[in-house]
Structure formats: C-alpha cells, structure tokens
Amino acid sequence: DIQMTQSPSSLSASVGDRVTITCRASQGISNFLAWYQQKPGKVPNLLISAASTLQSGVPSRFSGSGSGTDFTLTISSLQPEDVATYYCQKYNSAPHAFGGGTKVEIK
Amino acid sequence: QVQLVESGGGVVQPGRSLRLSCAASGFTFSRYGMHWVRQAPGKGLEWVAFMSYDGSDQYYEASVRGRFTISRDNSKNTLHLQINSLRTEDTAVYYCAKGHSYGYQDYFDYWGQGTLVTVSS
C-alpha cells in the first residue's frame, strides 16, 4: 500500500508568516491528493482537491501544489483562525490513506 | 443542505459487536460513494472503508478487513458499518463521509459529526 508522510508533524509560526506543509507519497499518485483542515474539537473540512483546486469558501491564502509523489500546502499569511491540524489524503485508489497530520500553532 | 448524522456508538466490551449507522439527507444519496473514517483519541485520521454508489464495490483498510462490513440502504438513505470482534484499538470517533462522486477515486466533501466507540472491559 502507498504510504503518505507529512512534515513537519507540528510547527509554530507568527501571524502573517508564510507556512509550508509537505506531503510525500511512497509511490506516484498523479494529482489525486486532497488537503483537510481540522480545528480543535471539530470535524475535518476539505480545503483542496486534485492537489491544487481550492474549494469554494476557502480563503485564498491557502494554496496547494505538486504532482506524482511530492505535494505542498501553503498558507501565504498565517491567521489566528488557521490554528488547526492539517491532513493530506491520497484518493487514487484504496486504501485512501491520510498523512499523519501537521499541527499548526501561533507563536 | 447536506447532513450526515452518525449513530450507534457507545461503550462495548472487547470481542463484542456493534453496528454504526449514518443517516444522509440534502443530496441524492444513491448517486455517491460513501466512506467511514475513524480517529482514535488524540490521534490522526484513519480511512476505514468505502462503498460505491450502488453497493457493488467495497474496499477496506487492511487492519479491519474481515471484521468490518460496510453496507448501505439507498431506499432509506443510510450507510452502515458492522464491527465484529471489537478490540481496544478500535476505540475512536467514527465519521461517515460523502464522496464527491460515485466511484472510489474520490475525496470527501462532507463529513458527519461522528459517533464515539469505546472498547473497554
């Protein structure tokens, strides 16, 4: 099975900072990659599909890129409401594995 | 609007069985693939199972294959997860999630609030 590895597992940044989260697949998955945001105590929320397609209503400071095995989620200017854990997920085939998550905090 | 409401969780002894349900509304249930995802306390998300729009295809995460059975009743807009031979490591919040389309090459555009399963003697 294809494994999804996220890095870092946690980060602390200041408001306004540019934040980058990396997700690596153990084999190529084309662009079948989604990103979810899970705020503390809440249900996961879809941010990005097809590696780079921003979902309706998601702030434009979020962006995704990559294809094949290497992907990134970027927050261009970190805001207090972005405190959350972010997960990547492959969906080219079963199992639809998630990465281990990246916890983002404000410094 | 889309609503997914899980039920059936609770405290159960190891080795026993449980059946989770997910009641769907606000969309044409029979046209979309559906998934179960779980999250152990303080841990990350783990995909568990998928069923295609018409029930013809099912996939499972390796650790639950043979113990978990996903099913759906399109006439009642309901998704189920039968969990047998429960283990302590099955303790988690179980979410049902709606696929964006009918097949398995799909991401999840809506999630339920989850139902907590606690396996303990």
What is the reported pLDDT for B101? 84
Across chain A, what does the average pLDDT equal?
Answer: 97
Mean pLDDT of the residues in chain B: 96
> Which residues of chain A have a CB within 8 Å of the CB of B112?
43
- The per-residue pLDDT for B61 is 96
Kindly state whether B95 is in contact with chain A, defined as any CB-CB distance less than 8 angstroms: yes
pLDDT surpasses 90 at A77:
yes
pLDDT at res. B104: 79
Q: Is the pLDDT of residue B37 over 80?
A: yes
Tell me if chain A has a CB within 8 Å of the CB of B67. no
Lowest mean pLDDT among A47-51, A63-67, A69-73, B100-104: B100-104
Q: pLDDT grade, residue B102 (50/70/90)? A: confident
CA distance B97 to B51: 11
Segment B48-52 mean pLDDT: 95
Instruction: Test B109 with A91 for CB contact under 8 angstroms.
Output: no
Cβ B99 vs Cβ B54: under 8 Å: no
pLDDT confidence of residue B103:
78
Q: Are B6 and B83 in contact (CB under 8 A)?
A: no
pLDDT digit string (tens) for A27-52?
999 999 999 999 999 999 999 999 99
Cα gap A94→B36, rounded to integer Å: 13
pLDDT of res. B21 = 98
Least confident of A45-49, A83-87, B98-102, B106-110: B98-102
Rounded to the nearest 5 percent, the helix, strand and coil shares of chain A are 5, 50, 50
Nearest beta carbon to residue A98 from set B44, B60, B105: B44
Is A91's CB within 8 Å of B95's CB?
no
